[in-house]
Chains A and B, each alone.
Chain A
Amino acid sequence: MSSNSQTLTPQATPDAAGLAPVAEGRRRGRPPAEPAARQARKKSLMARIRRDKVMLLLIAPGFLYFVVFHYVPLAGNVIAFLDYKPYLGFVDSVWVGLDNFAAMFQDGAFWEALRNTLVITGLQLALFFPVPICLALLLNSIVSNKIRKFVQSVVYLPHFIGWVIIVAVFSEVLGATGAVPHLLESLGLPRFDAMTTPEFFPFLVTIQSIWKDAGWGTIIFLAALMNVDQELYEAAAVDGANARHRLWHITLPGIMPVIVLLLILNLGSILSVGFEQIVLQRDNVGPGAGEVLDTYVYFHGIQDGQWGPAAAVGLVKGIVGLILVLGANKLAHFFGQEGVYSNGKSK
């Protein structure tokens, strides 16, 4: 199996692998491609459709899915401009223009949710972000293949555990009767229930995220470390650089582009926190500390039936989020990186 699946490993030169070829085909002066493709270009549209009919049929279900569950609901955001009543539907609900947005800005709960969101994402950026980098450096420095693979497996595992389970597990460990309060007590410190203390909530959420995803997050940094030219290390060692020198002058500069890229992309998603994670725990600490933008939309809209105002919040969050992501991507380009979403567009 092992030799077999190695040949299956994609020889992933990233762009040649992915999306570039589609775009490349459009360029003029491309090197003479396969004769079949060339002839196809001369064929009429009908002939090409006939030739591609199997492919088009295969694409159809997936395309339909994206249209029905991603693009059509986009249009549903129109209810942000309506005084939407479910029994009236889209057509008969009263058009209220920007009233819902005005109400949003006057709603203290909205500002609270915005603040909580920014506090949590900010904290995650400060505390979570460096962890996978350090962990990847540590993993990368393990010489024994066996140990490294074992540790990798262990730290990847939590990524696959769902939030319901994680919250349950954390209540067991951090909750009133768990190991950590026991430990605090035996050290003579005051007991406190980490699961229900509002002031601690951003930290709790961050700790959970680290537990779940810090190991998984090493994948990308390990890949970057793999790409650092090994001859540089050898040359440096020959020239007398010790391990710390090599880390500082070769390894870190080598993976810096990836770090910058991910940092920028994280900034781009600063309005998004793990929805499932928060929605499960919001009521433990109350909306004052536990409400974020996404849960605001859910609780005010779907639970309380304030469809229009909640949809307005969701829409604003979505648009600002999109702008931030695109901006972050632009910024990444500016730093000479290929952004995550650049694949098809800019090639």
Chain B
Amino acid sequence: MVAGLGRRPKNGPKNSPRNRPKTKDTRPIWMEKPKPAMQVSKAIALVVICFLALYPLLAVLATSLSSQSEIANNNGLVLFPKEPTFAAYQTIFAGGVVTDALIRSLVITTVGTALSLVVTVAMAYGLTRRDLVGGRFFLMTALFTMLFSPGIIPSFLMVKELGLLDSYAALVLPTLMSAFNLVVVRSFFMNLPQELFEAAKIDGAGDFRILVQMVLPLSRGVLAVVGLFYAVGYWNAFFNAMLYLNDDKWPLSMILRQYVLLGQPMGDSAVAEIAVPSQAIQMAVVVISLIPIVIVFPFLQRYFTKGVLTGAIKG
């Protein structure tokens, strides 16, 4: 969206980043070999950066795998558990609050993402027609929502007036679509070879059929990225749940807040151990809520480096 940032290299962004050929060493011929000192300091910088990015996550994982006594012996800090134990996970999955919340979160995320994608794709496709009746008006209606937010209180009252309090719909509908994602998908659609669709139209295909049979199969990359954005949003969201839901409907993120951040026992937990949160169990909950993100991320991250996103952000 930050448009017109500069000239495009001649071959376009195909071999992003930087039109590099896919050989191992891509140093251009004119570039001198860096001095060893430079290379070493660069390597150290990279290692430090990766360490800073990953260490907190590893610390959480290590703690979750430690026994309570080991945590106590080490004053709460465990780097490598000597005897890894899954006791914390067993306690959690033995039943009750966390398991229920996990299932709830998975369902909310799946359903929410599917709905968001459908609505976004439909609207984005509709807006690709250049002389659509009212097309500019519809587009502007969506775009202006990037400029303002109606505010917490009016949004809350809206959900209340719609009778959505304490319903799962309150977690999905208010954040159903983002104008940003709409623009991303739409600009992707508009970059597809339009001649294809013209031809299909001449052959008698309707708009909807073109969308389903031609546009969507060509758009897997952008759908994956936008779907990830939505899924991550639903998975991580806690504030709407905090505002709108009673605690028997809480998703995992709210359980995490209540149980790990506030250190409060889980209300009517059937499992006695969970009533007093041990550090290992707390961190196990953190790990559980991290897992889906860490699993999905590698599958999608190649799209980020392949320019879907850079193109999208700029488009």
Q: A9-B311, A70-B145 are in contact. Are A275 and B16 (CB under 8 A)?
A: no
Closest to A143 in B: B27
Chain B residues with CB below 8 A from A25, complex form: 130-131
The binding surface of chain B is classed by DSSP as: helix
Interface string of A292-326 (1 = CB under 8 A from B): 00100110011000010011001100100110011
Q: A55 on the interface (CB 8 Å rule)?
A: yes
Check if B176 is an interface residue, CB within 8 A of chain A. yes
Q: Shortest CB–CB separation between residue B87 and chain A, in angstroms?
A: 18
Any chain B CB within 8 A of the CB of A104?
Answer: no
| Cβ contact within 8 Å between A338 and B153 | no
Q: In the complex where A66-B145, A145-B26, A343-B143 touch, is A163 in contact with B236 (Cβ < 8 A)?
A: yes
Q: Give the tally of cross-chain contacts (CB within 8 A).
A: 421
Q: Which of A111-119, A197-205, A216-224 contacts B (4 or more CB under 8 A)?
A: A216-224
CA distance in complex: A52, B129 (Å): 9
CA distance A163 to B32 in the complex (A): 43
Asked if A154 and B191 sit within 8 Å, CB to CB, the answer is no
Interface string of B273-291 (1 = CB under 8 A from A): 0000001001100100110
- Which A residues from 54 to 91 make CB contacts under 8 A with B? 54-59, 61-63, 65-77, 79
B6:A234 contact, CB within 8 angstroms: no
The reply to whether the CB of B271 lies closer than 8 angstroms to some CB of chain A is: no
Question: B219 to chain A: which residues have CB within 8 Å?
Answer: 8
Q: Determine the chain A residues whose CB is within 8 A of the CB of B133 once the complex forms.
A: 45, 48-49, 52, 56
Contact status A223-B53, CB under 8 Å: no
Q: Which residues of B contact A63 (CB under 8 A)?
A: 123, 138, 141-142
Q: A145-B22, A234-B30 are in contact. Are A10 and B188 (CB under 8 A)?
A: yes
How far apart sit A227 and B22, CA to CA, in the bound complex (Å)?
A: 19
Q: Do residues A229 and B130 form an inter-chain contact, with CB atoms below 8 A? A: no
Q: Which of B106-163 contact A (CB under 8 A)?
A: 119-120, 122-123, 125-127, 129-136, 138-143, 145-158, 162
* B28-A219 in contact (CB<8A): no
Contacts A37-B130, A257-B5 given: A145-B315 contact, CB under 8 Å?
no
- For the complex formed, measure the closest distance between the CB of A326 and the CB atoms of chain B, giving whole angstroms: 7
Is B55 an interface residue when CB atoms closer than 8 A count as contact? Answer: yes
Which B-chain residue is minimally distant from A336 (CB atoms)? B4
| Cβ-closest chain A residue relative to B233 | A162
Contact B28 A275 (CB under 8 A): no
A58: chain B residues within 8 A (beta carbon)? 122-123, 125-126, 207-208, 211
A143 to B140, CA, bound (A): 43
Give the total of A residues in contact with B, Cβ under 8 Å. 140
Q: How many angstroms from the CA of A171 to the CA of B228 in the assembled complex? A: 27
A182 interfacial contact with B, CB 8 Å: yes
Q: Which of A163, A164, A169, A225 has the most CB of B within 10 A?
A: A164
Q: Does B290 contact A62, Cβ atoms closer than 8 Å?
A: no
Residues of A contacting B138 with CB < 8 Å?
59, 63
**A156 and B9 contacting across the interface, CB-CB below 8 Å:** no
Specify which chain A residues have a CB less than 8 angstroms from the CB of B140 in the assembled complex.
344
Contact of B85 with A by CB under 8 A? no
User: B9 touching A77 by the CB < 8 A rule?
Assistant: no
Known: A55-B207, A76-B150, A344-B136. A18 touches B298 (CB 8 A): no
The reply on A168 being an interface residue by CB < 8 A is yes
B37 within 8 A of A: no
Query: How many angstroms between the C-alpha atoms of A17 and B8 in the bound complex?
Result: 13
Q: B267 in the interface, Cβ–Cβ < 8 Å?
A: no
- Known A-B contacts A76-B150, A162-B237, A307-B153; the reply to A337 vs B4 at CB < 8 A is yes
Residues of B near A37 (CB, < 8 A) are: 130-131
* Residue A327, interface by CB 8 Å: no
Q: Which residues of chain B from 9 to 39 have a CB within 8 Å of any chain A CB?
A: 9, 12-20, 22, 24-28, 30-32, 34
Q: Smallest distance from the beta carbon of B207 to chain A beta carbons, Å?
A: 4
Give the CA-CA distance A297 to B220 in the complex, in Å. 41
Q: Which residues of A contact B173 (CB under 8 A)?
A: 65, 69
A96 neighbours in B (Cβ, 8 Å):
none
Q: How far is the CA of A112 from the CA of B47 in the complex (A)?
A: 40
B253 lies within 8 A of chain A by Cβ: yes
Asked whether B4 lies within 8 Å of A161 as measured between CB atoms, the reply is no
CA distance A56 to B174 in the complex (A): 22
* A79-B157, A314-B153 known; A165 vs B289 contact (CB < 8 Å): yes
Q: List residues of chain B with CB within 8 A of the CB of A326.
A: 147
Contact A154 B54 (CB under 8 A): yes
27 chain-A/chain-B pairs, Cβ below 8 angstroms = A9-B311, A12-B315, A17-B191, A22-B135, A62-B177, A68-B158, A69-B150, A69-B158, A70-B145, A143-B25, A151-B49, A158-B53, A160-B228, A165-B256, A179-B77, A226-B19, A227-B5, A227-B7, A242-B32, A261-B2, A311-B154, A314-B151, A314-B152, A321-B148, A341-B146, A341-B147, A343-B1
Add 11 more A-B contacts to A12-B315, A59-B126 (CB < 8 A).
A18-B186, A55-B126, A55-B129, A59-B127, A69-B155, A69-B176, A156-B304, A162-B235, A164-B256, A182-B77, A341-B143
B interface residues (Cβ-Cβ under 8 A, vs A): 1-9, 12-20, 22, 24-28, 30-32, 34, 42, 45-46, 49-50, 52-57, 59-60, 63, 75-77, 79, 119-120, 122-123, 125-127, 129-136, 138-143, 145-158, 162, 173-174, 176-177, 179, 182-183, 186-188, 190-191, 194, 198, 201, 206-208, 211, 218-222, 228, 232, 235-239, 243, 253-254, 256-257, 260-261, 279, 282-283, 286, 289-290, 293-294, 297-298, 301-315
> What 4 A-B pairs have minimum CB-CB distances, sorted nearest first?
A162-B236, A177-B76, A62-B123, A76-B154
